[in-house]
């Protein structure tokens, strides 16, 4: 039985005014003209407008990633920005933090603030020139990432996580499909065998941007990634 006070939830939409009061007030932003819910995806996205600039506030979903996972990613973005790589750089609070904990009804969520990136997402897909620019930028990110060090722990995307843990989640849905289970087991074994020769050392084992596609970049009118 659940004690009835505030009714439990698995997801909530956070109040823009509450975010202004409880989260955005922790940053040096000046007068905030507008805070509006903009998009729901892997994170909730809010558009922030002040007298001088616009910003994006990303609020994680509860249980999607841990606090340390998010902290690690923000540290990585901050590192790349300091190395002059065109990435969305997280802003620091007045106390120097990269994220702010939000105690939502469903549990803790984590907010991070970014400058609004100029330019636009390419319509349709990348053209040839944009593809070359993105490829060069991706190469710079991976080369630069070899120098990144963090004391914050993050879930490694190793074979156990990608294959074994995924199989544990998938297999209960295939209890009546023994051929499918056998196929997955064979495929997992084959992938592990093929990758067994790769050592977990730099540059084969490093931090990388694992989701490069046209929807994750803004290009300016002069074809610069922002």
The SS3 call for residue 212 is coil
Rounded Cα distance, 143 and 34, in Å? 39
**Averaged pLDDT for residues 189-217:** 87
Confidence of residue 200 (pLDDT cuts 50, 70, 90): confident
Rounded Cα distance, 48 and 17, in Å? 11
* Structure-block tokens of residue 33: 């003209």
Confidence (pLDDT) at 204: 81
Q: How far is residue 121 from each of residues 29, 90, 215, 221, measured CA to CA in Å?
A: 26, 19, 6, 11
Confidence of residue 4 (pLDDT cuts 50, 70, 90): low
203 prior amide bond cis, ω within 30: yes
Beta strands in 70-221 (DSSP E): 100-104, 107-115
Q: How far is residue 58 from each of residues 41, 65, 194, measured CA to CA in Å?
A: 10, 13, 38
% residues pLDDT > 90 (the chain): 71
**Averaged pLDDT for residues 38-58:** 95
Confidence (pLDDT) at 86: 93
Confidence (pLDDT) at 208: 82
Question: pLDDT at residue 1 above 60?
Answer: no
Cβ proximity of 98 and 78 under 8 Å:
yes
């Amino acid at each position: 039985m659940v004690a009835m006070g505030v009714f439990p939830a698995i997801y909530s939409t956070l109040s823009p005014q509450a975010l202004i009061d409880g989260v955005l007030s922790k940053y040096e932003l000046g007068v905030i003209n507008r805070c509006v819910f903009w998009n729901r995806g892997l994170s909730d996205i809010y558009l922030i407008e002040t007298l001088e600039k616009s910003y994006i506030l990303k609020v994680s979903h509860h249980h999607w990633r841990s606090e340390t996972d998010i902290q690690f990613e923000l540290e990585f973005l901050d590192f790349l920005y300091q190395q002059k790589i065109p990435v969305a750089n997280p802003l620091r609070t007045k106390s120097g933090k990269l994220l702010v904990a939000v105690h939502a009804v469903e549990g803790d969520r984590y907010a991070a603030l970014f400058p609004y990136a100029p330019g636009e997402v390419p319509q349709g897909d990348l053209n040839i020139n944009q593809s070359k620019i993105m490829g060069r930028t991706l190469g710079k990110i991976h080369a630069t990432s070899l120098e990144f060090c963090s004391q914050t722990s993050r879930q490694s995307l190793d074979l156990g996580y990608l294959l074994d843990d995924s199989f544990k989640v998938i297999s209960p849905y295939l209890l009546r499909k023994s051929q499918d289970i056998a196929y997955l087991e064979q495929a997992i074994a084959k992938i592990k065998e093929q990758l067994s020769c790769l050592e977990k050392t730099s540059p084969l084992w490093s931090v990388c941007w694992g989701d490069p596609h046209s929807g994750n970049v803004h290009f300016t009118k002069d074809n610069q990634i922002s």
